Every structure is written in structure tokens, then in C-alpha cells.
Structure 1
Amino acid sequence: MQSITLDVQPRETGKVATKAVRREGLVPCVLYGTHTEPVHIATETLSLRPLIFTTETYRVAVSVGGEDYEAILKQVDFHPVTDQPLHVDFLALTPGEDLTMTIPIHLEGTARGVKAGGALSQPLNDLQIRALPKDIPGHVSIDVTALEMGESLHVSDLALGDAITVLTDPERTIASVTAPKVVATDDEEAEALEADLEGAEEAPEATEDA
């Protein structure tokens, strides 16, 4: 994971204080962890954009009250109309302690099956893993170049190393290449209809018993 330094300032708690923070154009945040008491902070909305509007996972470096923290973005509450962040939770990291996270999957390359006319689909966009914070990648890159028509790539096919434990079901499909659906043209449909009509005309008429 790459690291981003976030400029923050301490803030007061409570509804009145929180509203005052927002009126100043800041976003109220809280940082907490297994061995960290909650630290109430605030930061500018623009400072949060690289963390929120991305498919990457980042470590966040925060300094407040003379203390330095390493954290990850845990949760963001958005305004239902404007989509502006209203509140952010940060989870403080503990060195030497495993962390369970969901990280994005990035597909790279053009599959051979796609070059042959197939379509690539990606039903699984992220992966749940457990590892030490220092071993967690910002994303998982998967090369699909060798994927042929009709082939699939599953979680069980991944090799992320001994430092990372994959928690996602190994049978889940990450990507697959399927043959394109054959759509009948207007001429083909007309020929099929004409054949049906000719067959109906040539069929013998039923006779009634005397």
C-alpha cells in the first residue's frame, strides 16, 4: 500500500461542534483502533478526495496532538443529495497485527479469447484478504492475456505469496471469456419464416372419417 499524508486538526465533539466544523468547510472524522482510543479530528474535503474517489487502498499518515498514526480509511458517510462526505472513520493500524481488508482487483492485458471475438466479463471486482499492514497491496493485478475462449480464472488460481491469506471463496470466478451470442439477421429470419410457410403448404390435408 502506498501512503498518503493527511492534514488534520483536532476538533470538539457533540452536535453543535460538529455542525460548526462543517460550516467551516471541514469534514468531521474519527480515528480509532484496537489499541487506540478514539481521536476526533477534522480535515478539508479536498484532502479526502484521493482516498475516497479511487479504486486503490492507501495507508493514511496522520499527526495530531503530538502523536503520529498510521491508519486506513474505514467508512465514509455521504450526504444523500450532494454526495459530499459528512463523516469519515479511520482505523489505526497496529504494527505486527494482522488486518482483514477488501482490496480491488485490476485486470491487465487483452485476453486471447477476446482477440478471437469473445467477450471478457469480470464478476468479481475485489478480494478479501488478511495480512500484516506492511504486506497489504493497494490492489491485486491479474494478467488475463493467456485466457482463451471459454476459459475462466478463479480465486484459487491466484498466487499472492505466503504473507497474504485470501479469505474470498476459492471457487469464485474472477474473469471469464465467453463466445459472442449469435443474433439472427433480418434475412435469416425471413428465410426461416418462408421455409415454415412452404412446409405448411406441402403438408397433406387431414381427412374426416366417413
Structure 2
Amino acid sequence: MTDLFTLDAEVRTDLGKGASRRLRHANKVPAILYGENQEPVSLTLEHKNVYRAQQEEAFYSHVLTLNVDGKAVECLIKDMQRHPYKDVIMHLDFIRIDAKHAVHANVPVHFLNEDVAAKTGAKIAHHINEIAVTCLPKDLPEFIEVDLADLELGQTLHLSDVKLPAGVTSDELAKGESHDQAVVTANAPKGKASDDEAAEEDTAE
């Protein structure tokens, strides 16, 4: 899998919509590399290599290596434009990183033991599928696990309930308690609440 996160790129000087259209016809993807107080660089990558790499979930939160005309540059993918109906990648934005500087990234969430939680009769509702984090590049996780084994009926887990890896902080929680987003809820099945209420009424009578 490691090779998928190393992509060859060429610097391009032929810019503009017409140039980008010609690149796509040649099965290449126009891209731009920026960040770390350096000048942006326009690039070209092979579409087949990018397409294969982006099929891996970790591609979007993994430190990537671009071989730019033979020079290795570490970066993160910041944006990807796709064709509205064709299975084609139209453009990529990469941002340079430095091992000593913290990065911001959206990391996918993996929900564990969802079948265990569902055995209570709960309807599991995912409120978010990724978490915005800040950390050094070496600490960037490919995904964050949320264990639902002990999730009770009617319970909601928030960001503050999620155990993040060492060195990783939540961007939302850094803004204050009011940004403690709901992550997942074990909703009671339809009709359950009314059935319980009916039982209570029968008992009262």
C-alpha cells in the first residue's frame, strides 16, 4: 500500500483551461502544489496512478510523497475535483508539509462493534464520518476508531467521548464546549417509546 502514496509528478508550464483540457485528453491530471511559504507549482500526474491511489480511504488522510521531477516532496491532498458524471478526476490540490509543523486534516471514522449495539434494538445513526484534527505529520492517523460495544439505547456519543491517538487534537473541541459535535446515536426503534408509555399507563390504572 505504501507505493500508492508515492506519485510521480511533472512541473507544467502550459497553463489555462485549454492546456488542462489537453492534459485530460492525454489521461493526465492537472494539479497544484502549495504551502509552507513557497511559491505554488503547477503539476501533471498520470490519471491511472492517481485513480488507483484515491480508491484507498487512507489516501485522503495519509502523508503523500510527490516525486516532482525527481525531488521528493511530502504533502497532503487538500482538494479533489471530479467530473460531474464521468469516473474521472479533474484536478488535485496538494499542500506541502514540514515534519516540524502541525497539519490540519480530516480523518475518517471507523465504527467498531456496530452489530453489538444494534442487538439492543437500536437504530444506529452516524452524524459524522470524519473528524477534523491537528497534529504533527508523524502522528497523523489513517482513521479514528469509535467503539460502539457499550453504547446504550438512546445514548449519543460526542467528540469529547472519542479517544484520539496520542498527539492528535480535535479542531472542533479546540473552539470550545459548544462545538462538541454528536458523532453517533443509538436511536430507539419507532413505536418503542409509545409502547413504553402505554405500559406505564396500564400500570397506573
Is TM more than 0.5 here? yes
Give the direction of change, closer, same or farther, for the CA distance of 1:167–1:76 in structure 2 (3 Å limit): same
Q: What's the counterpart of residue 40 of structure 1?
A: 42
Structure 1 pair 107–31 and aligned structure 2 pair: CA distance change class (3 A): same
**Structure 2 regions of 5+ residues with no counterpart?**
174-178, 193-205
1:29 correspondence with 2:38: no
Q: Which residue of 1 aligns with 2:182?
A: 173
Q: 1:188 is matched with which residue? A: none
8 Å contact 2:9–2:69 — kept in the other structure? no
Distance in 1, Cα, partners of 2:164 & 2:104: 15
Task: State the AA in 2 paired with 1:129.
Answer: V
Is 2:6 aligned against 1:9?
no
Q: Name the % identity.
A: 26
> What count of residue pairs does the alignment treat as equivalent?
183
Q: Which has the larger radius of gyration?
A: 1
- 24-33 vs 170-179, which moves further: 170-179
Does structure 1 conserve the Cα–Cα contact (< 8 Å) formed by 2:4 and 2:52? no
What RMSD in Å do the two structures reach over aligned CA positions? 2.3
Q: Any runs of at least 4 consecutive aligned residues in structure 1 with deviations exceeding 6 A, and if so which?
A: none
Equivalent of 1:58 in 58, 62, 65: 62
- Higher fraction of helix: 2
Structure 1, unmatched stretches of 5+, are 184-210
Partner residue in 1 for 2:134? 130
Amino acid aligned to 1:178: N
Whether the 8 Å CA contact 1:62–1:69 is kept in 2: the answer is yes
The TM-score normalised by the length of structure 2 is 0.79
Cα separation, 2, equivalents of 1:60 and 1:91: 10
